[in-house]
Amino acid sequence: MSELLDRTVVVLCRPEESGNVGSVCRAMKTMGITRLRIVGESCFDAKRIEHLSVHAYDVFEAAGFYGSLKEALRDTALSAGFTRRKGKKRKTAPILPEEFAERAGALSGGVVAAVFGNERSGLSDEELRECSLAVRIPSSPRFPSLNLSHAVQIAGYALLRAETRPSRFAPVARDRIEALTASIVESLDEIGFFTVSGSSVTEEFLRDILTRAALSKGEADRVERLFRKIQNLKIHRPARRSAEGRMDSLPISNHNDGN
């Protein structure tokens, strides 16, 4: 089994059918992925899962159960929400499974998550927002809906085919990205960046691009120091006397990026 598959987890959000869970276990194991995480209720028919998983029931036995997707992705360096639906709140540009596998393979370390939604409704807007990026599996417009286990099989196949490229560092986990994003937003708020509306859109944008950047610990620390320095420059910048004799702060650009 490759190093990439060893650190890959499949995350199922709110699965309903025990048979689907069993089929997912089988699809995972045939592609060399054995780490399963389930978000939501854990009341399943073990006999049904064992029957559909064939010789992959051990995948379910070792599965982790989580109360929220945020908790399930806390230690991940890259997470991809698989979805066929589009919309204003569903990421800007979904990528193909092969592109996701290529990005995952380019990382030298860190947990990679392939996230799948409920069998009937898929991933909610909120669940997709927790993921680093969105992945769309091409399908016929005449019948675009894939069975859950089939989607997992396609994702697993793409990851199995991906070659891990050498890298100089392992990216930081999701919890460090969350802390870094919060720190940047705090610094921007302190210098008056958010002058029209709230920071939620910018915060989501920063979280997404910082995750995709696969920052090392040193890089994440440096970015955080950079914004803290900008914040301190604004707060401690000396005032100057205007032509009318008033004490005015030195001008500072306040581009609010539409926020």
Each domain of the chain, given as residue ranges in start order, spans 3-161, 174-249
DSSP string for 67-87: S-HHHHTTTEEEEEEE-----
The domain made up of 3-161 has a fold known as: Alpha/beta knot (3.40.1280)
For residue 164, pLDDT over 70 is answered with no
Crossing angle of the two packed helices 217-236 and 174-190, in degrees rounded to 10: 10
Burial of 99 (0-12, 13-18, 19+ CB in 10 A): middle
For residue 30, pLDDT over 90 is answered with yes
pTM of this structure = 0.70
Does residue 214 contact residue 165 with C-beta atoms inside 8 Å? no
pLDDT band for position 106 (cuts 50, 70, 90): confident
Q: Which ranges constitute the DSSP H helices of 37-116?
A: 46-53, 57-61, 69-72, 97-106
User: Which of 166, 177, 233 lies closest to 204, judged by CA?
Assistant: 177
Return d(Cα 140, Cα 135) in angstroms, integer.
16
For residue 1, pLDDT over 90 is answered with no
pLDDT-wise least confident of 100-114, 155-169, 215-229, 241-255: 241-255
Segment 45-82, tens digit of pLDDT:
999 999 999 999 999 999 999 999 999 999 999 999 99
For residue 136, pLDDT over 60 is answered with yes
Does residue 153 contact residue 31 with C-beta atoms inside 8 Å? yes
Q: What percent of the chain has pLDDT above 70?
A: 83
The one-letter amino acid code at 80 reads A
pLDDT band for position 258 (cuts 50, 70, 90): very low
Q: What percent of the chain has pLDDT above 90?
A: 63
- Mean pLDDT score, 202-229: 90
For residue 254, pLDDT over 70 is answered with no
Q: Which two tokens stand for residue 120?
A: 């009937």
- Mean pLDDT score, 136-142: 93
Note the pLDDT of residue 223. Answer: 94
Cα distances (Å, whole numbers) of residue 164 to 108, 114, 136: 7, 17, 22
DSSP string for 2-21: -HHHHTEEEEEES---HHHH
Query: Cα angle vertex 139, ends 133, 144, to 5°?
Result: 95
End-to-end CA distance of the chain: 46
Q: Give 69's contacts (C-beta < 8 A, 6+ positions apart).
A: 11, 13, 39, 115, 127, 130
Note the pLDDT of residue 150. Answer: 97
Give whichever of 85-94, 212-221, 234-243 has the largest mean pLDDT: 212-221
Q: Give 149's contacts (C-beta < 8 A, 6+ positions apart).
A: 20, 23, 24, 26, 27
